[in-house]
Structure 1
Amino acid sequence: MWQSKKWQGKNRWRGVGRAATAVVAGLVILAVPGPASAKGEPDEATIQRVVSDFARNAGYPGIAVAISKGDQVLYTGGYGKDSSGAAVTATTPMPAASVSKSFTALAVMQLVEARKVTLDAPVRDYLPDFRISDSRGEQITVRDLLNQTSGITDSTLPEKSLPQPDSLAGAMTRAHDATLAVDPGTKYSYTNTNYHLAARLVEAVAGEPFADYLRRHVFEPIGMRATVTIDQTPRDLPRDVRKGFVYAYGVPIPVTEPKRFVNGSDGVVTTAADLAKWLIVHSNAGRAANGTQPVSASSIAAMHTSSDQRWTYGMGWNVDQKGRVRHSGVWFTYTAEQLLLPGGYGIAVIGNSGIGLVNEGIGSLADELATLVTGGEPSPGVPVRLIVDLTLAGLTLLSVFLGVRNLRRTRAWAERLTGRPSWRLVLRLLPRLIPLALLTVLPDLLGGIVGGGRDLTFVQLCYYSVALVTWAAVAALMNVSVLITRVVALAHLRRSADSPVTRDVFAQIAPR
């Protein structure tokens, strides 16, 4: 496929507000048991209730959950079903989306600890072929890529709108056309391109494909044997990864993820069981549950901490308004979240429905589970997603009604106004083009204003909100139809009025 500031990172695609989102009518959420919870921790039934309540209100057909504390897995489980009808379990493979950035950051930090990479060295020291269409590009450091402060943004390189590369080398080549919005290291701006370049740096320095590096140095050492990373969706998705869903009018619709290059930025496909092991590494000073130490405690701390008080993003992780460390993940058909709490708790969730209008993804479920494990009582949300879609459905029907009514009144309208000056008629008809103009620029409006500058194509907008696009399209169609029929009617009546045979007849008709 969009954190102390609203819409930072992928959260920028999430919508407008932190409210929980839409109901799926008649959906039955089934819990798949995970390991028994430790003494004093929330029991399985309580976790099941919180997750199923969220899924019902927010319109998620299936959700996978992992909860850890220190070096212990407290819980893994699955809820609901995937698009094939199979139950989602703790071992169901699902995309982690931009949670993947934390894996890329850890891989870079491994090379830093091996003295093969220096964080504050220019990227070109490790990627001699790296260049962009801005002389300041030579100043971009490895740290800038991981901190999202390179100066490259979605507006200077619209990575979703451009042709999608097949490899990390191709992603670096595509970046040659990038310019910089600001000097490197001076401003945070989230873009997937930074992590495409970071992953390319890993494979160049390590001398092996990025996917192989992660498998040998990250996934396998800590026991994540069901986890992989891919280059491009949907082409490279493992065969056992089912289609995710988009949401429309209370109904989840299974669809194929649009074509995107994702490796390094959001290409990790994993399971709840594996994510629990990943959480332990980050909650346990870099040590995995099996005793391996893929990275040092100091590197873990560096990844979790912003290097500048002007922003809250560290390296593949962010700090939210409560001081907790987290990162969200957004595809157009899946969403994910990982959250680390003081006291050693780790929470990861993946849902098989994409982000949408007023649906910020699945991060609010992670927050509810955080409340639960720390002794609070989560409050169930309201079906805002459904309410918004039903409102848009009402506006769509209203647009149809008004359009049909105006079409039926076309002749009377033309007869009443045909004698007026042409410039006044043009001014009267021009507003009919506003809905079409809005439809045309809607991806830029949502990406630029709501999404904080993120790139979004029209096809991806359709994934984001079927109901919004439908309303905009219907309103545009009806208004253009009214405009065309009124222009034709005016032209016909004026020709008739200029005819000597019909002038007297028109003079009697016009006042009506």
Structure 2
Amino acid sequence: MAQETQQTLSEFVEAAAGKFGVPGVAVGVWAGGRELYACHGVTNVDSPLPVDQATLYTLGSVTKPFTATALMRLVADGRVELDAPVRRYVPELVLRDERAAAEITVLQLLNHTAGLDWRMSVDTGEGDDALAAYVAEMSGTEQIAPPGIRASYSQIGFNLAGRILEKVTGLTYEQAVASLVLEPLGLSHTTFSTADTLTGRFAVGHNLTADGTLVTARRWKDSRANNPGGGGASCVADMLRWARFHLGDGRAQDGTRVLPAELLRRMREQTVALRGSSLCDAFGISWFLRDVDGVRTVGHGGSANGQFAELLIVPERDFAVVALSNAGPDSGLAFNQSVVEWALEHHLGVAHRDPDPLPYDAARAGEAAGSYENEVMTLTIADAGTGLTIECAIKPEIRAAADTELPPDLPPADLGLLPGDADGYIVTNGGLKGQCGYFTRDESGAITGADLAGRLFSRVTVAA
């Protein structure tokens, strides 16, 4: 039976990688007290090496739980309080909204309720002062909401949380996470250093060109100041060890106490609900909390330039799945989602089903059509007369100012409005297939924003 289970996983992973056209993938499953792995394909279509359990992938936002767990260790030691204002630890913090700068708490950074925008388009270099310089750049940051009012996913918030780690420990962010988390847990293949990565086997991202050709992504990871929110790299074996730690009682596999059990559990408890999003139903402390077929799941996804990572655990079933892939969203993201859904159904009998959209309604479609934006990206929702489409793109001025390669934009995809919640919607095809969101209205009832993947995009124009 064990051999059959391993073979079944390997066969599914190989077939899914072929179906979605992903060059190289790594999958790990913890189920029934056993670790199962399936690796398939190559690290790089130009210089191919076989993917194995030690191959490093960029984690993107799957890094965020590492940052949060390191801060929870400081909470356990009494060196940080979750409800304390961030300025207690980072007194130099300045925002355009002085009241917000004074009121934002540590917890609000970790559960995305600080009212900060998604990202800042700045690169403060690769020196040890990168995070300090990044925080100084926040002086021009606008609030999208007062602190504590609503959830909106924020890379800025987690990078600021990384600065707290630096200020309290006196170490760089990378040194702090290594000493507080990576070393105690034996995560020897998890790193933030490109130099360290180059000494081992690592996967390179791939993106599709306009003519459908798969090409290697030349930028491997984000700038250093984005490390707390998305700059980690790891392999499937380390990630499954990390998942097992978060399924446990706060001890490493060698028995070393890393975090009190009650604080580990607190990270998985709901702190704020998230409305109408396929990202999750609620945020814990960094974790995405979601009920699938009546079962509570805890996880996080991440994206980089042509690479995607997914980690999901089910505490009540002592189950975990990790999926790493090295191709753009039409391929890698779809592969990861298919692996997670297959593993849940195959091992736990838990099935995910997307909601069905309503038939086309011209009045509602016309009301929603228009342009929306945040600091870095734009959403364009268009009414084709028979249905809505959605296009998500990096702003042209951001691309023009970038001195490194940025991921390509996705082509427009179909969008359907959902029943029950008059302002809910779902993307029904393309790289964002299955992503849900909702429209925000002001007191007069006019649509003023659109949430997608937990991020708020403010309305700029109404379609003519």
Question: Cα distance 1:452–1:344, how it changes in 2: closer, same or farther (>3 A)?
Answer: farther
* Aligned 8 A contact 2:20 2:331 in 1: no
Matched, 1:109 2:43: no
The one-letter code sitting in structure 1 at the alignment partner of 2:238 is D
Mean alpha-carbon deviation: is it higher for 48-57 or for 165-174?
A: 165-174
Q: Please give the alpha-carbon distance, in whole angstroms, between the structure 1 residues aligned to 2:172 and 2:161.
A: 13
1:141-220 equivalence runs, <5 A = 141-154=105-118, 158-159=119-120, 161-166=121-126, 167-220=130-183
Question: Cα distance 1:116–1:358, how it changes in 2: closer, same or farther (>3 A)?
Answer: closer
1:309 shift after superposition? 3.6
Name the Cα RMSD after superposition: 3.4
Aligned residue number for residue 330 of structure 1: 303
Where structure 2 has 5 or more consecutive residues not aligned to the other structure, the ranges are 276-281, 354-370, 383-388, 413-464
Aligned residue number for residue 55 of structure 1: 17
SS in 1 for 2:9: helix
Aligned mate of 2:407, from 460, 463, 469: 463
1:201 shift after superposition? 0.4
Mean alpha-carbon deviation: is it higher for 317-326 or for 328-337?
A: 317-326
* Higher Cα radius of gyration: 1
Q: Please give the alpha-carbon distance, in whole angstroms, between the structure 2 residues aligned to 1:142 and 1:165.
A: 25
Considering fraction of residues, name the structure with more strand. Answer: 2
1:356 shift after superposition? 4.5
1:115 shift after superposition? 0.3
Q: Please give the alpha-carbon distance, in whole angstroms, between the structure 2 residues aligned to 1:141 and 1:453.
A: 31
Question: Cα distance 1:79–1:247, how it changes in 2: closer, same or farther (>3 A)?
Answer: same
Aligned residue number for residue 445 of structure 1: 379
* Aligned 8 A contact 1:61 1:252 in 2: no
Mean alpha-carbon deviation: is it higher for 356-365 or for 301-310?
A: 356-365
SS in 1 for 2:54: coil
1:392-431 equivalence runs, <5 A = none
Could you list the structure 1 runs, at least 4 aligned residues long, displaced by more than 6 angstroms after superposition: 376-379, 451-456, 459-462
1:319 shift after superposition? 1.2
Mean alpha-carbon deviation: is it higher for 358-367 or for 128-137?
A: 358-367
Aligned residue number for residue 40 of structure 2: 79
Aligned mate of 1:316, from 286, 290, 308: 286
The one-letter code sitting in structure 2 at the alignment partner of 1:371 is E
The one-letter code sitting in structure 2 at the alignment partner of 1:117 is V
Deviation sequence 1:306-333 (CA, Å, 0-9, x none): 2134560112210124231111011121
Deviation sequence 1:132-181 (CA, Å, 0-9, x none): 11112210000000001111113xxx41x334543221221221211211
1:344 shift after superposition? 0.5
SS in 2 for 1:144: helix
Aligned residue number for residue 344 of structure 2: 370
The one-letter code sitting in structure 1 at the alignment partner of 2:167 is A
Aligned mate of 1:66, from 24, 28, 46: 28
Aligned residue number for residue 492 of structure 1: none
Where structure 1 has 5 or more consecutive residues not aligned to the other structure, the ranges are 1-38, 380-436, 469-512
1:109 shift after superposition? 0.5
Deviation sequence 1:388-415 (CA, Å, 0-9, x none): xxxxxxxxxxxxxxxxxxxxxxxxxxxx
The one-letter code sitting in structure 2 at the alignment partner of 1:338 is L
1:79 shift after superposition? 1.1
Q: Please give the alpha-carbon distance, in whole angstroms, between the structure 2 residues aligned to 1:112 and 1:452.
A: 38
Q: Percent identity?
A: 25
The one-letter code sitting in structure 1 at the alignment partner of 2:43 is D
Q: Please give the alpha-carbon distance, in whole angstroms, between the structure 1 residues aligned to 2:352 and 2:271.
A: 33
Aligned residue number for residue 245 of structure 1: 206
1:357 shift after superposition? 9.2
Q: Please give the alpha-carbon distance, in whole angstroms, between the structure 2 residues aligned to 1:190 and 1:41.
A: 41
* Aligned 8 A contact 2:59 2:309 in 1: yes
Q: Please give the alpha-carbon distance, in whole angstroms, between the structure 2 residues aligned to 1:168 and 1:227.
A: 20
Higher relative contact order (CA 8 A, sep 6+): 1
* Aligned 8 A contact 1:280 1:288 in 2: no
Deviation sequence 1:281-328 (CA, Å, 0-9, x none): 111132332222321221122211221345601122101242311110
Mean alpha-carbon deviation: is it higher for 317-326 or for 344-353?
A: 317-326
Q: Please give the alpha-carbon distance, in whole angstroms, between the structure 1 residues aligned to 2:65 and 2:115.
A: 20
Question: Cα distance 1:198–1:447, how it changes in 2: closer, same or farther (>3 A)?
Answer: farther
TM-score norm. by structure 2 comes to: 0.70
TM-score norm. by structure 1 comes to: 0.64
Q: Please give the alpha-carbon distance, in whole angstroms, between the structure 2 residues aligned to 1:447 and 1:140.
A: 33
Q: Please give the alpha-carbon distance, in whole angstroms, between the structure 1 residues aligned to 2:157 and 2:66.
A: 14
